[in-house]
Chains A and B, each alone.
Chain A
Amino acid sequence: MEGAVSYQRFPKVRIREIKDDYMKFELRETDASIANALRRVMIAEVPTVAIDLVEIEVNSTVLNDEFIAHRLGLVPLTSDDAMRMRLSRDCDSCDGDGQCEFCSVEFHLNVSCDSDQTLDVTSADLRSTEPRVCPVDVAARALSLGVDSTSYDTGDHRGILIVKLRRGQELRLRAIARKGIGKDHAKWSPAATVTFMYEPEIHINEELMETLTLEEKRNWIDSSPTKVFDIDPNTHQVVVVDAEAYTYDDEVIKKAEAMGKPGLIEIYGKEDSFIFTVESTGAIKAYQLVINAIEILRQKLDAVRLQDSEESDFGELSAHL
């Protein structure tokens, strides 16, 4: 493809906030197709590890085997290694068995109740054979206890409830966690929510606005279901206090028209600026989720390239002549 011109874009990012399971950032100078592809990949195609096979040895609980297997699958597991792990489907070390160290992690659970008090079986009862893969709530607690035992509220936090046992009931099982993606089953999705919005651009027609009385201004401001505008207490001018609170509901525009002041306000979504909110389940950190999504999208693009042998039809014109 020598001499081919490039139509590449150079997007800009600005991080507003990062926490382990939360991230807010601005993405600019690209279009909605890229923003949406990233969102879709974060939800459905960034891999994690989740319990996928359960062998029940004893289950005398009130829940049936498949119900418990399903609940175990939904427990988020720390998946920092998932990008490096193999999918059982194409693991050649275990020949499709999906139980080797390269493509799986084994868990054991063994709880029985012999008191009159109800016993909770939780994620904390899952014993992993690989310390790097364990329930995320257990990992978070271990981390906060190690650093500062008072910082985390340890009072009522006893893990993710799987089933409750009464006297004489028992649950014993072996579980295999495997790498997978949300497209296969939602239990593998690392994303709790991923959203993006267009950055709003709000223009107030100041001249027209000054034809309104203070009372009319208040009425107009109150027509917005979210708090986007307010009145400056000194100048009595209408000001934008939070442009991003606008939900593109058009209410203020309709209100202006109803008041006989069309054109009082104009609001556009800037089509190349997005505000992303990413919430992770904890399986991977929110920031890492975004990075992994970019990497996965690149891998997907790489897979849809035409093979070199097919790409040699530059002489198409001559073929037609």
Chain B
Amino acid sequence: MNAPDRYERFVVPEGTKKVSYERDTKIVNAASFTVEREDHTIGNIIRMQLHRDPNVLFAGYKLPHPLQYKILVRIHTTSQSSPTQAYGQAIEDLDKELQYLKKALEEEKVRYEENLRQGY
């Protein structure tokens, strides 16, 4: 009867920002990003992509609580970069990777079906 709506798990409430970030007060080039209504799916790929960036000294994410539908991504970079730059670059690279993957899969399907036709 008083159960929360199921969509609360993935719909960002009005007046809430999807992504917000806060700089670390003590460390230069360190910040925490709060991503609303996301989970391990996004958190883990961003973290792993950040690890590919040599300017990233630390990157980690956590899902603080299963009933708090948000993740925290913490990034610490060298002075050559900044947390926002690294974060943006990670998303950009992931997006391009997926775009490439989709094209590769479509081409592979054409090849696969061509092989079938030739009675492979």
Contact = CB atoms under 8 A, between A and B. Distances in A.
Given A1-B92, A316-B82, A15 B44 contact: no
Interface string B79-107: 10010110111111111111111101110
A298 interface: yes
Contacts of A41: 41
Interface string A3-17: 010111111111100
A37 interface: yes
Given A41-B41, A89-B11, A183-B10, A305 B104 contact: no
Contact of A15 (B35, B97, B100, B108): B108
A4 B85 contact: yes
Interface string A293-321: 01101101111111100110110110010
Contacts, number: 139
B19 interface: yes
Contact of B82 (A8, A15, A314): A314
B62 interface: no
Nearest to A89: B7
Contact of A300 (B9, B42, B105): B42
A213 B82 CA distance: 62
B65 interface: no
B53 A291 contact: no
A184 B10 contact: yes
A30 interface: yes
Q: Report, as a range, how many residues of chain A touch the other chain.
A: 35 or more
A294 B88 CA distance: 19
A298 B85 contact: no
Contacts of B85: 1, 4, 311, 314
A222 B58 CA distance: 46
A7 B101 contact: no
Given A89-B11, A298-B99, A304-B42, A317 B84 contact: no
Contacts of B112: 15, 18
B57 interface: no
A304 B19 contact: yes
B29 interface: yes
A301 to B, nearest CB: 5
A310 B108 contact: no
Contacts of A303: 18
Contacts of A301: 42, 91, 94-95, 98
B100 A40 contact: no
A219 interface: no
B82 A300 contact: no
A316 B83 CA distance: 10
A33 B79 contact: no
A40 to B, nearest CB: 5
A4 B89 contact: yes
Interface of A: 1, 4, 6-15, 18, 25, 30-31, 33-34, 36-37, 40-41, 45, 89, 181, 183-185, 287, 290-291, 294-295, 297-298, 300-307, 310-311, 313-314, 316-317, 320
Given A30-B97, A89-B11, A294-B101, 11 more contacts: A6-B96, A8-B96, A10-B104, A33-B48, A34-B94, A37-B41, A37-B45, A40-B41, A183-B9, A295-B102, A300-B41
The 3 closest A-B pairs by CB, nearest first: A33-B48, A7-B52, A8-B93
